[in-house]
Amino acid sequence: FMQVYGIDYLEVYSPVVRLETLRVLLTLAAVWDYEIHQMDVTTAFLNGKIDLEVYMEQAL
């Protein structure tokens, strides 16, 4: 790739929760007797519009 950090891209972001946050939320749900549901949104950004050319590399 010919991209340079700070010029062609600024950061890498993965929308995942930190383990500490998850543990706090599960603890509060248990203390307050809340129901916990799990879900997975696999197509959240499937059809999002993008006007730039994007190059990606699969992690090893």
pLDDT at 26: 96
Distance CA 13, CA 24 (A): 23
Q: Are 36 and 26 in contact (CB under 8 A)?
A: yes
Which residues 6+ apart lie within 8 Å of 1 measured at CB? 55, 57
Taking 90 as the threshold, does the pLDDT of residue 59 lie above it?
A: no
Rounded-to-integer distance, Cα 8 and Cα 2, Å: 9
* Span 8-45, pLDDT tens digits: 776 676 778 899 999 999 999 999 999 999 887 776 66
As given in the structure block, the two tokens for residue 30 are 């248990």
Q: Say what the pTM is.
A: 0.48
